[in-house]
Amino acid sequence: MQRAYYTALGLTGHHESAMDLSQDAFVKAYKAIHKIDEERNFFTYYYRILRNLCLNFIRDRKKHARSFSEIGEMQYQHLENPGADPSAALEKQEQKEQVWNAIQQLKPDHREIIILKEFRDYSYEEIAGLLDIPLGTVMSRLYHARKSLKTKLEGVIL
């Protein structure tokens, strides 16, 4: 459930929507549990529904994505060393904001694969299963997503 929430959060960029959509998807998947193939696990089926809901949300959304500081880890608040340079931490946080903004500007399928790989640390095989695409397509899509992200970050932090 938590991994579904995080994926929805990455896709929608909105905490409350991610909560609502992952709950909705869970209820829909649960109601249709009898349709799930024995070979496929519940999460794969659940993820498909969640993905569709998120993509529809992105298409129809009227709310704007939140900034990373609202949903992401605020690094400077977690510094263990109290003597650490706060300005460096703040700079780091600003950098994360810029990266997050760039991720939010990616095409949904590019954003999705970046979230799954970088934020959720899924393996290529797991991503292929979730998205129902061949392994080669996973790597190719990830390449184009990272390339697109690189282009957006050029001149900003790269």
Partner 1 sequence: MMAETRAQQENFQILLMKALDHELNEKDSAEFEKMLEASLDYKQEYEAMKKVRNITREMHFCTPTDAVWDRYWTGVYNCLERGIGWIIFSIGAVILLTYGAFRFVESVIANTHLTIILKAGILLVLGGLFTLLVSVIREKFFLFKRDPYKEIQR
Instruction: Give the x/- contact pattern for partner 1 in 62-81, rule: CB under 8 A.
Output: ------x--xxxx-------
Contact between 15 and 70 under an 8 Å Cβ cutoff? The reply is yes
With a CB cutoff of 8 Å and minimum separation 6, the contacts of 52 are none
Asked whether position 128 contacts partner 1 by CB under 8 A, the answer is no
100 is a site residue for partner 1 (CB under 8 A): yes
Which residue lies nearer to partner 1 by CB, 56 or 105?
56
Distance CA 113, CA 101 (A): 16
158 is a site residue for partner 1 (CB under 8 A): yes
Cα atoms in the Cβ-side hemisphere of radius 13 Å centred on 50: 31
- Does residue 33 sit in helix, strand or coil? helix
Evaluate whether 85 touches 136 at the Cβ level (below 8 Å): no
**Given candidates 31, 34, 62, 64, which one binds partner 1 under the rule CB under 8 A?**
31
Closest C-alpha to 115, from 51, 21, 67: 51
Stretch that binds partner 1, among 24-32, 36-44, 81-89, 104-112 (CB under 8 A): 24-32
Residue with Cβ nearer partner 1 (15 or 43): 15
Any contact of residue 43 with partner 1 (CB under 8 A)? no
Contact 67, 100 (CB under 8 A): yes
Binding residues for partner 1, rule: CB under 8 A, are 1-2, 5-6, 9-10, 15, 19-20, 23-24, 26-28, 30-32, 48-49, 52-53, 56, 68, 71-74, 95-96, 99-100, 103, 114, 117-119, 124, 136, 139-140, 142-143, 146-147, 149-150, 153, 157-158
